[in-house]
Amino acid sequence: MGSGVVVVDTRDSLQKGFLTQSTEKGLTDDEMKQLTLFREKNKEMLSKLGKKKIRTASFDMLERFILTKKRYRSQTLLIFDQVGKQVRWLMYTLEQKGIKKYFFLDKGANGVIGFQAYGDK
């Protein structure tokens, strides 16, 4: 990935497979297997993107930490959420901030991994 490219992961902790210990204890064996597999696939996906280039920012913090920074205006932003729907509102904000080089991951992380950390596969 080029030096002018920044990947932005907007998923929240639950969507990344981070659960509290008490929540994990309440999972069935099948749910725990799914969570473990999700975590492995998520780690694989992130390593392919290059960890040094990944910025994590929830939608609430995205504007504050990324969109207001001048250094990101000249870079290409690759932005993804969990399923590819929440990022759509960003287009207007990005354009308003003068950021023209951006792309959204179709179907989000779920499109790459194939299932979520929770719920049905």
Domains and CATH numbers, the chain: 5-113 (3.40.250)
What is d(CA 73, CA 58) in angstroms, rounded to the nearest whole number?
19
Q: What is the pLDDT along the chain (121 residues), one digit of tens a residue?
A: 456 888 999 998 889 999 999 999 999 999 999 999 999 999 999 888 876 678 888 877 887 777 778 777 788 999 999 998 888 788 888 888 888 899 999 999 999 999 988 765 5
What is d(CA 10, CA 60) in angstroms, rounded to the nearest whole number?
9
